Structure 1
């Protein structure tokens, strides 16, 4: 039977125990509830004490709980995959980080996040550039009635590429400036596709959300021939939470070591080497559908490597001995500047 723990979604300001009628990340009958300690409560659900893979199903369940809770509370979201062993450990976590939590929650109180992806229609933009560029028009004018030379074709290609970049930069600056009114903070996120011009996270006060949504709708209508907007929100402030917690214990770290096939004593460079070798073998692009379990195996290897990397980063040593007495039953890692969510 799997060992059970407490999966932690986030922190709210609440002194009493509350329950939420929504399925937790483990599914079944388990429903999220709060574990209070002082002025704060952790929103948790009961589930296996394990490394949670960042599958779409798990991520959606994690986000659904936070979005339900934020209807009634300001939520400080924890990174996906945060698990504690017991209720006592959750309370200890809240005690140990109470000062940091007070500061972090104050920074996001009364605020929500919107994520905005903006894709560019390169075909239409290219047509516009070709029609409006004076240099291209001049070359076309000079070449009327004769065959365009290779040098002229190369020159046109270079001009088009340069003008396309300039037009994209101008569009990006215009959109970003237009959406900045009434915004507390903006951060750029990874571009998910080649055609994505901008991928931005906005932090704003809840009372400003109607105006922000109207502004996006106006921009979408104004630029619909060039840009496509995808808006997600309101959300908990995932990308603006200054305090990030990762709670693990010896069993989790040791399980991650075994996933990478590492011996009981190893180094950081050996951990990286083991991950590279396994990633090369099980990456879905390499498996090409031959092994149906390759993708799941790769996700687990990737999650285990991230866990070990984070442990090494916060506990630098020449060699790592995977024994309980080396670091005790519980590790709590605090990250203020890491923008990525570690699974």
Structure 2
């Protein structure tokens, strides 16, 4: 059975099909999996894992991922999910929605009425190189190189390249000091993205509301006039707030959780309090300060700390109630017991495979 690819979380909690091709090249529908007043936009996935792809394949799937999100955005507020997020089936998708329900709802409310605009500023690189070529340091080095055989001037040629690069960086930084403040004035937030190549002066994502979007057009026109056409401005949007709020979902491997619990001397179930108690007890025994003659003390302490952090992250995923096909509640997750008591964490293979770490993170585009 094909895995389920997740594109976004939207409000509404209504099932439906979207008229757009997904990462499976249109072989299946892109549709909504509802849970309460939320829904996940999903499709079948041709791959179980999108890590380690060849660049051209990664770009093809990424374009499909973005195409779906932008199509859904025409009808719904969208909380994007990180590219390449796959879960085994719709049941796990509902588990994700249930576990992250409060976080998803709060984030959708926070970004309601807001959109991302991407501004790229370019310069004429050949013109800039000509200007740099007229700098005194470059002129002197070029004269030295020209007067001697090529094989005698490798150091000077490297020095020329370094001076050119340093001059490019100084000029770009000076321009950004003039470009970014006017853009920040109209934005609710701003992320500076990596430059794709030397032809870029700036590559920024701006979070704006409707009024900010109109003001952005005015600021770009003003900047174009100020720089007298020497810079070229490209503005793309509106887009979903990918750079400011993207859902990241992380699962756990049974092997890593099992190793961590053994390091802390825990049984098949444990509370968060017991995890912390065992860690502090073992840390007091293994800390390098208490074992100054042991060359392995630091390594053992690092392993213990990793195990503790791993189990705390695992343990803090909360129990949720996911309705089954008949609408009845079925407890899923890794905690058992009543919410009024400290939950008990299960380390069984089934519980570990159901656990999900959910976070909303700012993202930068891939350079």
Spell out the pairing of 1:187-266 with structure 2 (5 A cutoff): 187-220=191-224, 222-223=226-227, 225-241=229-245, 244-248=247-251
Structural RMSD (CA) = 4.2
1:110 aligns with 2:132: no
Per the alignment, residue 179 of structure 1 pairs with 183
Using the TM superposition, give the Cα deviation of residue 34 of structure 1 relative to its aligned residue in structure 2, in angstroms. 0.9
Structure-1 residue corresponding to 2:349: 325
When structure 1 is superposed on structure 2, of 223-232 and 97-106 the one drifting more is 223-232
Distance in 2 (CA, whole Å) between partners of 1:206 and 1:32 is 28
1:85 Cα offset (Å): 1.8
2:172 aligned to 165, 168, 172, which one? 168
Q: Distance in 2 between matches of 1:86 and 1:40?
A: 17
What runs of 5+ residues in structure 1 fail to find an aligned partner?
141-147, 258-264, 266-310, 318-322
Q: Which residue of 1 aligns with 2:91?
A: 88
- Per-residue CA deviations over 1:240-278 (Å, capped at 9, x if unaligned) read 00x63225476xx99xx9xxxxxxx9xxxxxxxxxxxxx
Partner of 2:303 in structure 1?
A: none
Specify the SS of the correspondent of 2:16.
coil
Q: Name the CA distance, whole Å, in 1 between partners of 2:167 and 2:26.
A: 56
CA shift digits 1:295-343 (9 cap, x unpaired): xxxxxxxxxxxxxxxx9997379xxxxx98286323412234563589x
Judged with a 3 Å threshold, the aligned counterparts in structure 2 of structure 1 residues 203 and 50 are, in CA distance, closer, same or farther, namely: same
2:265 aligns with none
Cα contact 1:83–1:247 (8 A) shared by 2:
no
Q: Is the 8 A contact 1:20 1:31 kept in 2?
A: yes
Residues 80 and 341 in structure 1, CA contact (< 8 A), matched pair in contact too: no
Q: Secondary structure at the match of 1:51?
A: coil
Give the greater-gyration-radius structure (CA).
Answer: 2
Is the partner of 1:74 in helix, strand or coil?
coil
Measure how far apart 1:18 and its partner are: 2.1
- Count of matched residue positions in the alignment of Structure 1 and Structure 2: 267
- 1:20/1:69 contact within 8 Å kept: yes
Paired position in structure 2 for 1:101: 104
Is the partner of 2:105 in helix, strand or coil?
A: helix
Q: In structure 2, what is the Cα distance between the partners aligned to 1:314 and 1:8? A: 28
Which of 2, 12, 18 does residue 10 from structure 2 map onto?
12
Q: Report deviation, 1:38.
A: 1.3
2:332 corresponds to: none
- Report 1:124-139 matches (<5 A): 124-125=127-128
Relative to the length of structure 2, the TM-score reads: 0.60
Map residues 290-301 of structure 1 onto 2, 5 A cutoff. Answer: none
Residues 109-156 of structure 1: CA deviation (Å, up to 9, x unaligned) = 11111122223334434656788x9xx6xxx9xxxxxxx997xxx9xx
CA contact (8 A) 1:114 1:235 kept: yes
Query: Are the equivalent residues in 1 in contact too, given 2:243–2:365 (CA < 8 A)?
Result: no
Q: Deviations over 1:141-193 (max 9, x none)?
A: xxxxxxx997xxx9xx8999887655433311111112223210001111211
Quote the residue 2:44 is aligned against. Answer: 46
In structure 2, distance between residues paired with 1:176 and 1:121: 19
Structure 2 CA distance, aligned partners of 1:7 and 1:341? Answer: 20
Aligned to 1:339: 363
Does 2:92 match 1:68? no
CA distance in 1 between counterparts of 2:166 and 2:62 reads 40
Mark the CA change 1:164 to 1:44 in structure 2 (over 3 Å): closer, same or farther: closer
Structure 2 stretches lacking a partner, 5+ long: 145-155, 260-305, 313-346
